[in-house]
Amino acid sequence: MKRRIYRQLLEWKRRGAAKPLLVLGARQVGKTYVIKEFCRREFAATETITLSERPDIVALFAEAIPTERKVKRLQLLLGHAVDFESTVLFFDEVQVSEDFIESLKFFAEDPTPYQIICAGSLLGVSLARFSKSFPVGKVELLRLAPMDFPEYLSALGQDALWDEILQHSAQRAQLPAPLHEHCLDLYRCYLWVGGMPEAVANLIAHDIDPLRTDRGILDAISESYLADMSKHILTPMEAARIQAVYRSLPSQLGNASRKFQYAEVRAGARARDYASALSWLVASEIVRCVTMVSTPTSPLRAYERDGFFKLFLNDTGLLCQLAGVRAAAVLFDHDMPFRGAIAENYVACQLAARGVPLFYWRDDNNAEIDFVMDTDEGVIPLEVKAGIRVKSASLEAYRSRFDPPYVIRFSTRNFGSKGGVVSLPLYAAASLCPGSEV
């Protein structure tokens, strides 16, 4: 499957691969697969070392000996010499060893041209709680999310369709009605299946019939997330709280404001009791955190309101499964209350996958804008509507108060622009982002 991160990996190689590369992302998003494909295609040889399966190598990096000696002993443990000039070293599951991560500094500084890529399912959590000396400035970081809508279309052999969507998005020109409806069908299918590579591959194996897909795949991924919540924790109580927050996500998104409420996790719950659990989920990239700003002014991060935020799941397929949504409700666009939460979660994922910081705005009179985005043209409000009904008192209040250059409204309507309101169909959400090609 074609993934956008492949180009970023190529850029790392073209820059000489001088610094070790750390690839972060939640479990099952395709990190190991895409890195192995990259190594196989772009290097003469690859040495793959999964640290969770090699306690002997983990123990080696815990020893206080020079890097040169570690490298010699590493080759002895591997059972053969390594030509470092032509071989890329892929260390997987590196979250099990802080000593190894700390040692990356010395690999970067060594005159030997080491080419090192690292990945790990809970690497983000490990780095957030790193107790040793992190090699700041000596490593590069990349993030991989579940497949976004353009990558999903590419996997379905629809690259030309995304190019058409990009063109019409730039021109604000309507797609022919049959093509627009076809794109909406693909969008609804994506909502149901999600962007986990295994789930998308299963959809393709079933001739792109979402009703025949194996939902057990998503159940297994969700269970693996729950199992991971007992790893890299401070106390057993923290693991229970992480799981409780995760299971509460459907009810969090089901409330009218979508604002995270501790009472939805447990009656009487307090923010201080769940701060660590929330940070674990965000660092693991299982959830996306959208923080509230009091004033939609650049830089948005300067106007964040402490304690006001929304949490979205990293994949709409997982959200539908966790919430117990029926296939027909999504695929046939039934007018159910939770439909808006799914659409908003989808847009959050599309923006986050392209590295767009996530913020929303709300005032004291309960006027709220789903997302606000800092651009060269100013802060642009983004309103998300799950269907064709697009009237929004909050958007009008925002326009009257802040006079943005224009506003963007996502819905199931076709492309268009009128009176300072840009209409974008939901399937075109990723077209707003930098590097919007696949």
Q: What is the overall mean pLDDT for the chain? A: 94
Domain identity same for 213 and 131: no
Domain identity same for 275 and 409: yes
Amino acid 231: pLDDT: 86
Last residue of a domain, one of 107, 122, 143: 143
**Has residue 103 got a pLDDT over 90?**
yes
Tell me if 154 is assigned to some domain: no
Last residue of a domain, one of 143, 162, 178: 143
Domain identity same for 275 and 384: yes
Q: Which helix (H) or strand (E) holds 408?
A: strand 407-411
Domain identity same for 88 and 226: no
pLDDT digits (tens, 9 = 90+) for 106-162: 999 989 999 999 999 899 999 999 989 899 999 999 999 999 999 999 999 999 999
Domain identity same for 292 and 391: yes
Amino acid 284: pLDDT: 96
**CA distance linking residue 299 with residue 197, whole number of Å:** 35
pLDDT digits (tens, 9 = 90+) for 209-229: 999 999 999 999 999 999 999
Amino acid 67: pLDDT: 86
Give the phi and the psi of residue 268 in degrees, each rounded to 5.
Answer: 80, 5
pLDDT digits (tens, 9 = 90+) for 263-314: 899 988 889 999 999 999 999 999 999 999 999 999 999 999 989 999 999 9
Tell me if 180 is assigned to some domain: no
Amino acid 256: pLDDT: 82
Instruction: Name, in order, each residue with C-beta under 8 angstroms of 31's C-beta and a sequence gap of 6 or more.
Output: 23, 25, 119, 121, 144
pLDDT digits (tens, 9 = 90+) for 66-98: 888 999 999 999 999 999 999 999 999 999 999
| Average of per-residue pLDDT across 252-267 | 90
Domain identity same for 90 and 211: no
Number of structural domains the chain divides into: 2
pTM score, whole prediction:
0.95
pLDDT digits (tens, 9 = 90+) for 340-394: 999 999 999 999 999 999 999 999 888 999 999 999 999 999 999 999 988 889 9
Q: Name the residue range of residue 139's domain.
A: 5-143
Domain identity same for 96 and 200: no
The token pair that represents 155 in the structure block: 């996997």
Domain identity same for 263 and 118: no
**Has residue 438 got a pLDDT over 90?**
no
Tell me if 176 is assigned to some domain: no
Tell me if 90 is assigned to some domain: yes
Is the dihedral angle over the CA atoms 402, 408, 409, 413 positive or is it negative? Answer: positive
Amino acid 234: pLDDT: 82
The proportion of the chain whose per-residue pLDDT surpasses 70, expressed as a percent, equals 99
Tell me if 158 is assigned to some domain: no
Q: What is the DSSP string of 57-113?
A: HHHHHHS-S-HHHHHHHHHHHHTS---TTTEEEEEESGGG-HHHHHHHHHHHHSSS-
Domain identity same for 328 and 425: yes
**Has residue 400 got a pLDDT over 80?**
yes
Amino acid 257: pLDDT: 83
- CATH code of the domain covering residue 29: 3.40.50.300
Tell me if 293 is assigned to some domain: yes
Amino acid 436: pLDDT: 66
Amino acid 333: pLDDT: 86
Domain identity same for 266 and 391: yes
Tell me if 184 is assigned to some domain: no
Domain identity same for 99 and 244: no
**CA distance linking residue 277 with residue 271, whole number of Å:** 10
The proportion of the chain whose per-residue pLDDT surpasses 90, expressed as a percent, equals 89
Tell me if 257 is assigned to some domain: yes
Tokens 């304690």 — which residue? 307
Domain identity same for 139 and 227: no
